[in-house]
Amino acid sequence: MYHSLKKNLVILFLFFLLPMAANAEQVTEDSSVVFYPTDVTEAEDMAYLRDSLRLMLASRLASVAGGEVRLEQKMSKERDLTFYRVKSRLVSTANGLEISVEAFRPYDDKPMYFQSVAGRLGLIDALDMLVADMGQSLFSMPDSSETKTELAEQVAGEIDLSTSHPDKIFKVRKGLGLSIEQDDFIAQMAIEVRTTERFKSEVLPVRSKGMTAGDIDGDSRDEVLIATNRKLYIYQLDDLQIQHLETISLPGNINVHALNVADLNKNGLMEIYISSTRDNEPRSFVLEWSVATGVEWLYENVYWYLRPVNIPGEGMVLAGQKGGVAGGTQPGIYRMLFESDEKITGNETFYMPESINLFDFVFADLDGDKLPEIVTLDKKEQLKVYNSALKLLYTSPSGFGGRELSDGVTFPIRLVATDFDNDGKEDILVVDNELSSPKILNKTKWYRNGQVRGLVWDVDTFMEMWSTNLFPSSVADFQFLSYPSPAGTDIDMRGRLFVLEPETSDLLKQVLLGGGGSRLFVYGMDFVTKHNKEAE
């Protein structure tokens, strides 16, 4: 153990020392640009454009950058650090070819993201708009392209292609995470978000492995549930005061990765679904709790990963997935059945891509056609949308950070689907944490500067409607609950957002020794559409 601790401390020392060394060596920026092969793994029958797209991008950007162009097969940090570096990606979607670029300035390992869609635009025109964006952001070129203006007008009302990453343009905000923010462009949208209540708890002596919220005992007050690998803590939120109600000991030797609640047996109490592993095999547990009856274990040692999911038009059902190698999963997500002999078994599989795992997705009717789309986070933490026929509609240009990763196995933070403006089209809530661990620690991930963001589907992309301020220590988990609109008001939907942030603590305590607590934030939110405001 001593040698392992010593090794980790040396790595941490190098992690903080290397950026300082790199800055010390930095003198001037070289305008030469290195281009790496285009990723065409999701380009389907357009994969043959792999080399052509890189060459077209390089030839156009070279005239903007004014430096040498180099083509390399893979990134070599030591050799390429002094140059601009460009990694491109081509994805075939139902709306056309999606071109995205991840670019790095010299001596900078923080990427900039750019995206264009060759839908109504041809491939060449889409590339020209992409290069114009990159010229402005990377090389401070003036926005004097008449072509870009004309092309932007052609797709007016669809996606703002002059923005390098439409659903990630608010990442630079700073703050304490105590208010809901909306930017100026929100005024052009048809909905207003009002913050009605704010709550910040004291530090709770719990390092969370999963958090959720809901009225689990039917008393019309929200409970907050936080799980560690050993205990389940139940708190009640009443009049913006948090009260500890119960601590439940969990079965031994489990590694919890997901906590959910749902009343699937329709008895007025929400079941608590704990999904975990034991000895790299799935173990799930189902229990109920109330003040009157205490704890009742309904199902123990279920050899499946379990999660309640909501299907538009059908409601909540229980989904499950079998275990794979080293705590992973097997392809196939099943609709689960409750049997009379206290067993839960798998029935038929859901129709979805095999690459999707149980905790990666939500069903959501994004376009109001009564057919659910699948919104998922892939292994690169990129947000994707598939239609009901499993045609890929959208891939985000960059990833959304997840949870801390240990020993190479992780399960993502939840996605939530809801309908902010009550227009019959569901919207998405997602966590965006910034990766802070060095790439050399490929089996360990730490995050910082987390946000919860509310996204609206707009034809073929996501636009951000609102977001929280940054949580400096990242977002460990979150939940969003919706409530009926108060009668006689202009409110389309009333909601409550619960966010759990890891305690900012001593690095040795937090990372190496696994200590620290958590802090709970709660926001009350009202969503009002413009037509309701105008009617006032």
pTM, two decimals, is 0.74
Of all residues in the chain, the percent with pLDDT exceeding 70 is: 76
CA 283/CA 330 separation, integer angstroms: 15
Task: Name the residue among 123, 98, 80 with its Cα closest to residue 42.
Answer: 98
Q: Which two tokens stand for residue 404?
A: 């801390």
pLDDT higher at 143 or 382: 382
CB proximity list for 351: less than 8 A, separation 6 or greater: 390
Burial class of residue 324 (count of CB atoms within 10 Å of its CB; 0-12, 13-18, 19+): middle
Burial class of residue 190 (count of CB atoms within 10 Å of its CB; 0-12, 13-18, 19+): middle
∠ at Cα 142 (141, 147), nearest 5°? 105
Mean pLDDT of 314-329: 89
Query: Exposed e or buried b for every residue in 377-409, given b needs 16+ CB within 10 A?
Result: bbeebbbbbbbeeeebbbbbbbbbbbbbbeeee
The DSSP 8-state label assigned to residue 10 in this structure reads H
Q: Is pLDDT above 70 for 105?
A: yes
CA 447/CA 451 separation, integer angstroms: 11
Residues in the chain: 536
pLDDT higher at 307 or 150: 307
Mean pLDDT of 396-415: 72
Mean pLDDT of 385-409: 79
Q: What are phi and psi of 5, to 5 degrees?
A: -65, -40
Q: What are the pLDDT digits (tens) for 154-192?
A: 333 332 222 223 333 333 222 233 345 554 444 445 678
∠ at Cα 122 (119, 128), nearest 5°? 110
Are 96 and 61 spatial neighbours (Cβ–Cβ below 8 Å)? Answer: no
CA 326/CA 340 separation, integer angstroms: 31
Q: What are the pLDDT digits (tens) for 346-365?
A: 989 999 999 999 999 999 99
Mean pLDDT of 483-506: 85
**DSSP SS3 for 153:** helix
- pLDDT score of 28: 39
Of all residues in the chain, the percent with pLDDT exceeding 90 is: 40
Q: Is pLDDT above 80 for 98?
A: yes
Q: What are the pLDDT digits (tens) for 21-62?
A: 333 333 334 568 888 999 988 888 788 788 888 888 887 877
CB proximity list for 333: less than 8 A, separation 6 or greater: 319, 320, 321, 349, 350, 352, 356, 357, 358
The DSSP 8-state label assigned to residue 37 in this structure reads P
Strands across the sheet with 447-458, in order?
A: 180-181, 461-468, 447-458, 427-435, 416-418
Q: What are the pLDDT digits (tens) for 62-85?
A: 766 666 778 888 776 566 677 888
Q: How confident is the model at residue 336 (pLDDT cuts 50, 70, 90)?
A: very high
Q: Which two tokens stand for residue 378?
A: 């892939």
Task: Name the residue among 528, 508, 474 with its Cα closest to residue 208.
Answer: 474
Q: What are the pLDDT digits (tens) for 475-494?
A: 999 999 999 888 888 898 99
The strand pairing partners of 483, in sequence order, are 494
Average pLDDT, the chain: 79
- Say how far residue 274 (Cα) sits from the centre of its chain: 21
pLDDT higher at 402 or 264: 264
Q: What are the pLDDT digits (tens) for 427-446?
A: 999 999 887 766 666 666 77
CB proximity list for 222: less than 8 A, separation 6 or greater: 213, 214, 215, 236, 237, 481, 496
- Residue written as token pair 């274990």: 297
Mean pLDDT of 230-259: 92
- pLDDT score of 235: 96
- pLDDT score of 445: 73
CA 413/CA 396 separation, integer angstroms: 17
Mean pLDDT of 253-272: 95
CA 35/CA 24 separation, integer angstroms: 26
The DSSP line for 480-493 is EEEEPPPTTSS-SE
Task: Name the residue among 403, 405, 407, 362 with its Cα closest to residue 385.
Answer: 362
- pLDDT score of 116: 84
Q: Which two tokens stand for residue 172?
A: 């630079």
Report how far apart, in Å, the C-alpha atoms of 279 and of each of 209, 252, 325 are.
Answer: 17, 11, 11
Task: Name the residue among 377, 373, 372 with its Cα closest to residue 357.
Answer: 377
Burial class of residue 129 (count of CB atoms within 10 Å of its CB; 0-12, 13-18, 19+): buried
The DSSP line for 409-442 is B--PPPPEEE-TT-SS--EEEEEEEEE-S-TT-T
Q: What are the pLDDT digits (tens) for 248-258?
A: 999 999 999 89
CA 255/CA 252 separation, integer angstroms: 9
Q: How many Cβ atoms sit within 10 Å of the Cβ of residue 475? A: 27
